[in-house]
Amino acid sequence: MRRVYMDANATTPLLPEVFEAMRPYWTEHFGNASSIHLDGQQARTALDRARETIAEFFNCHEAEVVFNSGGTEGDNTAIFGLLRPGDHFITTAIEHSAVLQAASRVAQQGVHVTYVAPQPSGLIDPADIQAAILPETRLISVMLANNETGVLQPVEEIGKIAKTCGAFFHIDAVQGAGKVPFDVRRFGCHLASISAHKVHGPKGTGAMFVRRGTPVESLIVGGSHERRQRAGTENVPGIVGLAKAIELAMHSLEDGTIEQVAVLRDRLEAGILAIPGTGLNGMGLPQKMGAPGPAFGTWESTNPVPRVANTTNIYFDQLEGEALVIALDLKGVAVSGGSACHSGATEPSHVLMAMGLDKTRARASLRFSLLKTATQADVDQVLKIVPEAVQHLRALSPVAAGTLG
């Protein structure tokens, strides 16, 4: 069976060029970048080159790039590294658990945390961030793009608010990186986190932008790696892979690839929305089960929310999303219900719930996230399989029969 992978926001495969770039650093160029001999120097040179690429991506100085293990570590570092009891921290109710769990831990330690709710569209209103500011606000953390809806947040406006009130600003750019242009100077942030495996790089590798002079404490102590900001022997092959993946992602933003992904996503979305009882999450929809969705055919023009090109999040009334994920998987289509990082959890998506969906509709929602290598054939295959699977499940579903609330 030909499989179609539409779960790019969970992870992406290594591109062949990334694999090839990494290969020598597992084998002949295996040196420790801290060693002074030739083998060490080769590793150090590779790290320096990778740092230049990531600095170009962030639009920052090379000394402001810190390599780490990925998005979770970057998010944790911003929060644990800056906040102390008595501080005030502003974040949003739709952040990834790497932010939300860190926030709940610092809250237990005496940090006052405000969770700003999104609009029903999935967008954070900068005015709500502004309204949450207190004299002791030390850090604001808002994501660039939401992993479940793809909605792009107004980070530039939030950066201006942070500047005015003198707070530090962290952007979780894990899902936006490589999908929209990123510029730490324009966005006015002090910290930003990215992760290689979301952009066709290796898992367990990432980087952080740390603006010069930001007093963020290292989570991991030991050697003097990464200018004492992150101890531990550098993962040279991983870092080389991250840099190659980011270099390719920067090209994709310029060569029309991302626009092509948007065309495919829009076709996919329109095709799925032609199934009765479906609707797009991220438009301020009616909340009651059975309430009419947006007038069909008008969804495009009534959806002004900026989104990344590859993501759509759709509800299927009278269905359990999880059952549909499994049915699609059996037919060779990989998608995700809610956030894949929470797979196994029975709770409905905290993001969709924060946007005001009721539990039933949140549970009935699926995320389709396209790889940048997606093709029209992939979309055609998914558009053939989804309506059949929906029809089949609805015929069997106790939700459809009205036995579930």
Ligand X SMILES: Cc1ncc(COP(=O)(O)O)c(C=O)c1O
In contact, 69 and 195? CB cutoff 8 Å:
no
Structure tokens at 34: 């801290």
Instruction: Return the number of the residue (123 or 319) whose C-beta is nearest ligand X.
Output: 123
Q: How far is the CB of 182 from ligand X (least distance, A)?
A: 14
Nearest to 90 by CA among 66, 77, 106, 74: 106
Instruction: Return the number of the residue (161 or 174) whose C-beta is nearest ligand X.
Output: 174
Q: How far is the CB of 325 from ligand X (least distance, A)?
A: 17
> How many Å apart are CA 275 and CA 269, to the nearest integer?
10
> How many Å apart are CA 193 and CA 215, to the nearest integer?
16
Q: How far is the CB of 303 from ligand X (least distance, A)?
A: 21
Q: Which positions ≥6 away from 175 have C-beta within 8 Å?
A: 9, 143, 144, 145, 146, 147, 150, 198, 308
Instruction: Return the number of the residue (177 or 357) whose C-beta is nearest ligand X.
Output: 177
Which residues bind to ligand X, rule: CB under 6 A?
70-72, 75, 96, 98, 143, 147, 172, 174-175, 195, 206, 341
Q: Counting Cβ atoms within 10 Å, is residue 295 exposed (0-12), middle (13-18) or buried (19+)?
A: exposed
Q: How far is the CB of 292 from ligand X (least distance, A)?
A: 32
Instruction: Return the number of the residue (147 or 252) whose C-beta is nearest ligand X.
Output: 147
Q: Would you give the DSSP letter of residue 63? A: G
Instruction: Return the number of the residue (76 or 121) whose C-beta is nearest ligand X.
Output: 76
Structure tokens at 306: 């900026």
Nearest to 201 by CA among 177, 220, 182, 227: 177
Q: How far is the CB of 261 from ligand X (least distance, A)?
A: 17
In contact, 132 and 90? CB cutoff 8 Å:
yes
Q: How far is the CB of 10 from ligand X (least distance, A)?
A: 7
CB neighbourhood size of 206 (10 A) = 29
> How many Å apart are CA 229 and CA 235, to the nearest integer?
15
Q: Which positions ≥6 away from 20 have C-beta within 8 Å?
A: none
Amino acid at 65: V
Structure tokens at 346: 């029975």
Q: How far is the CB of 381 from ligand X (least distance, A)?
A: 25
H/E stretch holding 42: helix 38-58
Instruction: Return the number of the residue (7 or 64) whose C-beta is nearest ligand X.
Output: 7
Instruction: Return the number of the residue (265 or 394) whose C-beta is nearest ligand X.
Output: 265
> How many Å apart are CA 294 and CA 282, to the nearest integer?
11
> How many Å apart are CA 31 and CA 397, to the nearest integer?
58
Assess whether 189 carries a catalytic annotation: no
Structure tokens at 260: 């092509």
Q: Which residue numbers are catalytic?
A: 341
